[in-house]
Amino acid sequence: MMNHIIVTKLNFKDRVLLNKYLELTKAVLIPALKSQKQKNFTWVLLTNRADTEYLQKELDFPFVPIYGVDSLLQYCIEHKCHIQTRHDCDDWMSQEYVAAIQSAYIKNITTHNTFIIHTQPIRVAYSTGAESTLSRYHDRRCSMFLSLCQKNVIHHVLVKQHGQMYQLANSVINLGTGYNKWIIHGNNLSIVRSRLKKLLRNKG
């Protein structure tokens, strides 16, 4: 018996920012969740208690609200969430994504107590739809599109940054390209640019 959750963060400090990402969630993630060929999963939202009722009215997909990472760990342990998939509210997943993760889990859980399943995403510009490739992810640099699989649940999937999650695993499995798209829009593009400017300043 496996229990698979998809964990998404919608815990913004102000309603204006929440509403921006809410529109992206409705446009990108909700249709993708609805289209999954494998329906055996639970969507878990890491959010603010004050926003729960609002999100329940706005989102046309059932979810379990969680308030804080400590509560997430407690939920994962109590519900024996053997597969925990982290997925941003503004990113895309293919119809086969959940099914592919669960198939890989079944094939590997008898061999490994803890392992990571991740994919090689494609970068997409939200405004134009233009696609581009990303540098190759590997066993010691897992992509942001990953699932933590555990025979005995002791960690939650947000316990480390995605690039360090391999440290928890006995093995890392890459499903390849085509399962996920990283959607670039105003906010996360500006973050990338600011990091690049900071890096260039430090080198100078």
- Rounded Cα gap, residues 191 and 140, in angstroms: 24
Res 186: pLDDT: 67
pTM: 0.89
Res 89: pLDDT: 95
Res 178: pLDDT: 96
Say which residue the tokens 């809410």 belong to: 22
Domains of the chain from N-terminus onward: 4-203 (3.90.550.10)
SS3 of 77-135: the string is HHCCCCEEEECCCCCEECCCHHHHHHHHHHHHCCCCCEEEEEEEEEEEECCCCCEECCC
Tokens of 12: 């913004």
Give average pLDDT by consecutive 10-residue segment, the chain, 204 residues. 94 91 92 97 97 96 96 97 97 97 97 97 88 93 97 96 94 97 72 47 52
Alpha carbon dihedral 8, 10, 12, 17, in 10-degree steps, equals 120
Res 126: pLDDT: 81
- Rounded Cα gap, residues 150 and 112, in angstroms: 8
Res 199: pLDDT: 47
Res 108: pLDDT: 96
